[in-house]
Structure 1
C-alpha cells in the first residue's frame, strides 16, 4: 500500500484541493453560481451520420469563453444498422458519457474524502432491442433495458471505504442520475 502522507498533497487524484475548497466555499456563499447550462449543436450530414459540436456554456454566473475551439463528435452507425462506421453511434456515446461522468464523480468524491486512487477503469455494456427504434413493436422500449458498469479501482483505503464511495457515486453523477430518472426532453421546431 502507498504512503498515506500523500493525503496532505496539494493535489489528490490530479485535482487541486485548494481550488476545490475555494469553489465549494464560493458555492456555499452564493448558490446561484452552481447553475450551469451546457449546450450541444448537431447537424445531419447523410444517412445515419450527423456531427455534434460543443463549445460554449454558461456557469459560475457567466458565459464561459475558455474554449478556443469546438469539440466535434461524429455520430455514425455500423453497417448492420445501415451505416459505414463513420463514428460511434449515439447509444455508444451515451455509454461514453456515463463512463466519463461516473469516473469523474468517483475521482472527485474520493479526493474530497482524502482517498488517493492509483488505478481506475470501467467497462460498460447494455442491451437494446431495435424493434423499439424501428417502431416494429410498440411494447418494446427503444432505449437500453439495463446498463451495467464494471469498475476496477485500486485506492489507498479499506474495502469498506471503497464500497461506501462506490455506493455514493451513482447518486451524485449528473449523467447517471439523468439516465436513471425521467427527465423531460422537449423537441420544438425552430423556423
Structure 2
C-alpha cells in the first residue's frame, strides 16, 4: 500500500474550554477539567493525544506480533505524560508547552522470548505513526480565513 492516507477532523467551539469534533461520522467532545476552566465532560486535548498513542501502539503491537508469530494475550498499554502548564497559561517560557516526557508501559501475559520481545518493542517503536509524530517534527501550516 503506497497511497497516502488522509485523515481529517472538523471542530466547532462550544465554549472557551469545550470543543465538538467530527471525524468519519464520529462526534467527539474535547473538554477541560473544572480546575482548568472546563466542565469535565470529556477528555482534554493532551489526554486525547495519549489515548491516540495507546490506540496506535495497540494496533501496531498486534500487527507486529502476528508477523513475529507472537500469540499476544491480555495486552494492555498504560501511558503517563508529564507537562508543565506554565507556558500554556503564559506564566513562564522555561518549559515547553507540550509533554516534557511520556512513559509507555506495555503489559501482556504472553511468554515471549527476551530477544524476540526486544525486537518486537523496537519494531512497534519504529512503525507506530503516532510515536513518529510525537518524536519527530512534523511540518504544520496555519491559516485563517
> Normalized against structure 1, the TM-score is what?
0.72
* Alignment pair present for 1:81 and 2:36: yes
2:115 aligns with 160
Q: For structure 2, list consecutive stretches of 5 or more residues without a partner in the other structure.
A: none
SS at match of 2:108: strand
Write the distance in 2 (CA, Å) between the matches of 1:178 and 1:124. Answer: 16
Number of residue pairs aligned between Structure 1 and Structure 2? 145
TM-superposed CA distance for 1:139, in Å, is 2.2
Deviation at 1:160, TM superposition (A): 1.9
- From 78, 96, 101, the equivalent of 1:141 is 96
Question: In structure 2, what is the equivalent of residue 42 of structure 1?
Answer: 11
* Counterparts of 1:171 and 1:136, CA distance in 2: 36
Runs of 4+ in 1 over 6 A off after TM superposition: none
Larger Rg: 1
Deviations 1:70-100 (A, max 9, x none): 1111000111101110210000000000001
> CA offset at residue 156 of structure 1?
5.3
Aligned partner (choices 176, 183, 186) of residue 138 of structure 2: 183
Secondary structure in 2 matching 1:179: helix
- How is 1:1-191 mapped onto 2 (pairs within 5 angstroms)? 27=1, 31=2, 33=3, 35-55=4-24, 70-155=25-110, 157-190=112-145
Question: Which whole-Å deviations, capped at 9, do the CAs of 1:131-180 have from their partners, x for residues lacking one?
Answer: 11112112221100000011102335413212210122111100011011
Larger strand proportion, structure 1 or 2?
1
In the alignment, the residues of structure 2 paired with residue 153 and residue 167 of structure 1 have an alpha-carbon distance, to the nearest angstrom, of 16
Rounded Cα–Cα distance in structure 2 between residues aligned with 1:85 and 1:165: 37
Q: Which TM-score applies when normalising by structure 2?
A: 0.94
Question: Structure 2: how far apart are the matches of 1:165 and 1:156?
Answer: 13
